[in-house]
Amino acid sequence: MKNKTILITGGTTGIGLATAQLLQADGARIIVTGRNPDTLASARATLGKAAVVIASDSGSLADARALGSEVGKHASTIDGVFLNAGVGKFAPFQDHTPEEFESMFGINVRGLFFQLQSLLAILADPSSVVLNASVVAQLGFPGASIYSATKAAVVSLGKTLAVELAPRGIRVNTISPGPIATPIYNKLGMTPEAVKGFEDTMAAQSLLKRVGRADEIARAARFLLSEDSSYVTGSELLVDGGVRLT
């Protein structure tokens, strides 16, 4: 990754930050986005002055469509992008609200779609695009009706965009993580006890009998962003500890 410029959306916490740290250690120049002032400040302290940290809300259509021009202020071209920003809220189907539907689709699908569209002018030929989905796109997981639908849409987009962008040499692949210990668990609208129960349930359903770590997804992202995956496009890489097989 030496001398590569990589953009990571949602790169101030969790999987995004772990990926930023890993790629930075490998010699890449890192640009990350986030929307929370506190995590933006924390990421600046963690990644140092060599990294670029941009305030950008994936749920804002205006911010999504302006991302390319904002990144262009710091880099004339980028060699890869990890579209990682996402949110989730679990609830029974009958309890979900229109606002939750709009929020999750707005960030997880619309935001990702228009962020990538805005970046086309500065993506190098060739380059690599990695989308972050979820294993729930493959499973019927209770309480995840909206979230699962958004991630299934991301997987589908990955396959279509791989075809459309192939003439430019832009590879598009998707990572579908299983249960990963990240701060997103604290944003699911569940009590700490419910979060612990969720983690225990998912660990029990995993062949490896544990939840994953953010750095394990980061290493998968590095593979897809690097030349090590130069003949891989249109794929979905499941990094889930075997949850789908139980």
Whole-angstrom Cα distance, residue 212 to residue 73? 36
**The residue to which tokens 């916490």 are assigned:** 13
- Residue 161 near residue 115, CB atoms below 8 Å: no
The token pair that represents 205 in the structure block = 């359903």
The yes-or-no answer on residue 147 being catalytic is yes
Whole-angstrom Cα distance, residue 189 to residue 118? 32
Q: Coil, helix or strand for 130?
A: strand
Please pick, among 90, 141, 147, 185, the residue that the annotation labels catalytic: 147
Whole-angstrom Cα distance, residue 56 to residue 107? 11
Instruction: Please give the positions annotated as active site.
Output: 147
